[in-house]
Amino acid sequence: MIRTARYDQVAEFYVDEVGDRLDDAGTAGLLGLVGDVEGRRVLDAACGQGRVSRELARRSAVVTGIDLSAELVQRAAAVEGKQRLGIDYRVADVSAPDVLAGSVFDGVTCNFGLSDIDDLDGVLRTVRRVLRPGGFLVLSLLHPCFPGWRDIASSAWPPGEGYFQEGWWRTEVRSSRIRRAVGANHRTLSTYLNALVGNGLPVQTAAEPPPPADWLTAGPGTDPVPTFLVLRCRAEG
Ligand SMILES: C[S@@+](CC[C@H](N)C(=O)[O-])C[C@H]1O[C@@H](n2cnc3c(N)ncnc32)[C@H](O)[C@@H]1O
């Protein structure tokens, strides 16, 4: 199946908006659960413009980055051309049955990638296939239970339909400019956990980084809510 690279249309904006930042709570949480990767072969799945790939390489991992968006990978490769870290970037659908055939990795990262990937079982099958037994998958997500935050951030599920309605949708919240353009796949927490277990990738460690401090000081009625979800899973075998 040929998949549409939705990020091609927002590549310039995505790079301007996100750039090389690693200090947002989800990304920092993911890098915290990745830990020491010196000398490890790591696949950065849905690597985008390569911000996490570069950090893994700076931690002395041997990194392959894969993404569906040729526009984003081109930008990642352009940075690699200027500051060589030895990262192997590829444009491909990480959920395709034959992708990365013959490759073996010690770990896989997926930073804010799963809700953009339409075929959840497909990508998890790939992760399981390319990981050595005992290898890790560390992923971050907008928390599937995130109810939205005022006019600052869109909820995880389509308003009016509710948490249990799964599927791809596009927000209308003006400040969520990326999600307004590319949409997202909403899945419940149990769908994610069951898919991980079902594909031989049970969760070892979970973290729920809280919302940014400036959200909490934005006004009354600001009880912290589930905002990000970070999981470390171990490949059975
Ligand atoms: C929110 S971006 C995250 C990019 C990067 N990991 C980061 O932290 O900035 C989601 C990425 O998933 C990629 N993506 C969506 N479906 C994909 C697929 N089937 N295979 C590979 N990448 C995919 C998009 O092209 C996009 O770059």
- β-strand 228-234 against 203-207: which pairing, if any? antiparallel
According to the model, what pLDDT value does residue 204 have? 98
pLDDT digits (tens, 9 = 90+) for 5-51: 999 999 999 999 998 999 999 999 999 999 999 999 999 999 999 99
pLDDT band at 211 (very low <50, low <70, confident <90, very high): confident
pLDDT band at 221 (very low <50, low <70, confident <90, very high): low
Cα 211 → chain centroid: 17
Q: Helices marked H in 145-203 — which ranges?
A: 177-182, 189-198
User: What residue's CA is closest to ligand 1, atom 4?
Assistant: 48
Going across the sheet that includes 228-234, the strands are 88-91, 62-67, 41-45, 105-111, 131-142, 228-234, 203-207
Tell the residue number behind the tokens 């898919």, with chain if given. 195
CB 93 near ligand 1, within 6 Å: yes
Closest C-alpha among 183, 182, 174 to residue 153: 174
**Which of 21, 55, 116, 120 most suits a substitution to test ligand 1, by most atoms within 8 Å of the C-beta?**
116
pLDDT of 152 higher than 90:
no
pLDDT digits (tens, 9 = 90+) for 102-123: 999 999 999 999 999 999 999 9
Mean pLDDT of the chain: 95
- What pTM value is reported for the model? 0.97
According to the model, what pLDDT value does residue 212 have? 84
**Which of 54, 69, 115 most suits a substitution to test ligand 1, by most atoms within 8 Å of the C-beta?**
69
> 87 and 53 in contact (C-beta within 8 Å)?
yes
Of 211 and 162, the structure prediction assigns the larger pLDDT to 162
pLDDT band at 153 (very low <50, low <70, confident <90, very high): confident
According to the model, what pLDDT value does residue 71 have? 98
According to the model, what pLDDT value does residue 219 have? 62
According to the model, what pLDDT value does residue 119 have? 98
Span from the CA of 222 to the centroid of ligand 1 (angstroms): 31
Span from the CA of 69 to the centroid of ligand 1 (angstroms): 7
> 46 and 92 in contact (C-beta within 8 Å)?
no
Question: Ligand 1 atom closest to Cα of 117?
Answer: 16
Span from the CA of 48 to the centroid of ligand 1 (angstroms): 5
Alpha-carbon gap, residue 144 to 78, rounded angstroms: 34
